[in-house]
Amino acid sequence: MATTATLPPWLPGGHLQTIVPLLRKGAMPPYRRERIETPDGDFVDLDWLATRPDDAPLVVLFHGLEGSSRSHYSRSLMRALQAAGWRGVVPHFRGCSGEPNRLLRAYHSGDSDEIDWMLHHLRRRAGAAPLFAAGVSLGGNALLKWLGERADTATTIVDAAVSVCAPLDLAIAGHALSRGFNKLYTRHFLKTLVRKAEYKHLRHPGRFDIERARRATTLHAFDDAFTAPVHGFAGADDYWQKASSKPWLAGICVPTLILNPANDPFVPSTAWPRATELADAVRFECPPGGGHVGFLTGSPPGNLDWLPARILGHFGDRLGEGHRRLSYPGVTLESRHAFLR
């Protein structure tokens, strides 16, 4: 059953629905950190929920731009998994766990190769239990790209997937973040992105133009100065074109839910796919509200329970009757919805 969030009348508009949830993070889940080596001699840090049954489903969450296991959406999903008795893990993209990674490379929106080896590793760790993958924003785009690229092969790794507020078309979403109120979000991202670029410059001098990166006032300018040259793209336009997940949606074979609210200030409706661009395994849902990974519901000050319930509802549908009736205090899953399929 498709679901949508109830719009809180006290929190109108996509910007408020994006910003206010950042103040409602809630308690940190009981994480256990594990560091693993990457195939190219670097490392990534994984934050696991405290020990759960080895045969419980495992949910992996790929975070967004400059996100982590501490992000509000990570906390709320991991708390829901804890309540459901499932296993959960948040792999950090390189440099996002609180410690700089060793190599020059960082992470980017189309890093499906990174998604690939991480999911192969976690498939082994899941054992015989189901493995589910969720991705938020940048992490959602990279996950969708991986699903489309790997097609049938991905069905041997993950049992179902969810993408939340993925940009889908990086050029449309990227330029949207350079206009109007969205410039505030860009400035917020650039503070940490430029700081990390400066550290890379100290460790790997001469590999990119640090002065251009420092002068960047848009994500396009930063990606042109740092992200593209560091990761083998000809420039920001080349990176945005090749890293977008939208062209890969028709190839997805894993049961996948794509969730993009109509009032997401980061992802205009022009970035959404048409029904003809979606594989039969893909369901695109467009709730009227939620902002960018907000989905705050209930009376003031609101709660963040709806999104975890929607994600786990999709995963539970893959498991059979014993797992479908997932519910959490204060959450109502409603039948009203708007979607393209």
Convert the pLDDT of each residue in 228-247 to its tens digit. Answer: 999 999 999 999 999 999 99
Amino acid letter at 138?
Answer: L
Q: CATH 3.40.50.1820: which residues of the chain?
A: 14-167+249-324
The neighbour count for residue 308, using CB atoms within 10 Å, is 25
Residue 6 binned pLDDT confidence (cut-offs 50, 70, 90): low
Task: Specify the 3-state DSSP secondary structure of 58.
Answer: strand
Give 336 or 172, the one with higher predicted confidence: 172
**CATH 3.40.50.1820 assigned to 14-167+249-324:** yes
What burial class does residue 298 get, using C-beta atoms within 10 Å of its C-beta: 0-12 exposed, 13-18 middle, 19+ buried?
A: middle
Q: Which of 137, 163, 244, 245 is catalytic?
A: 137
Catalytic residue among 15, 201, 292, 314: 292
For residue 263, give the amino acid letter: N
Give the per-residue pLDDT at 3. 47
Report, as an integer, the average pLDDT of 112-124. 98
The verdict on whether 327 is a catalytic residue reads: no
Residue 219: pLDDT over 50 = yes
264 classed as catalytic: yes
Confidence label for 30 from pLDDT (cuts 50, 70 and 90): very high
- Reduced to 3 states (helix: H, G, I; strand: E, B; else coil), residue 256 is strand
Task: Please state, as a whole number, how many other Cβ atoms lie within 10 Å of the Cβ of residue 191.
Answer: 10
Residue 329 pLDDT: 43
Q: For a pLDDT cut of 90, what percent of the chain falls above it?
A: 89
Q: Which of 49, 253, 223 is nearest to 148 (CA)?
A: 253
The yes-or-no answer on residue 314 being catalytic is no
Question: Per-residue pLDDT for 44 more than 50?
Answer: yes
Q: pLDDT band at 331, cuts 50/70/90?
A: very low
273 pLDDT band, cuts 50/70/90, is very high
Q: Where does the pLDDT of residue 333 fall: very low under 50, low under 70, confident under 90, or very high at 90 and above?
A: very low
DSSP-derived pairing of the beta strands 43-49 and 87-91: antiparallel
Asked if pLDDT for residue 39 goes beyond 70, the answer is yes
Task: Please state, in angstroms and rounded to a whole number, the distance separating the CA atoms of residues 183 and 16.
Answer: 15
Q: What is the pTM of this model?
A: 0.93
237 touches 171 (CB < 8 A): yes
pLDDT of 339 reads 27
Confidence bin at 5 (pLDDT 50/70/90)? low
Tens digit of each residue's pLDDT (9 = 90 or more) over 192-202? 999 999 999 99
Predicted confidence (pLDDT) per residue in 274-323, tens digit: 999 999 999 999 999 999 999 999 999 999 999 999 999 999 999 865 44
Instruction: Determine the longest span between alpha carbons in the chain, in angstroms.
Output: 58
Active site residue: 109, 264, 305, 314, which one? 264
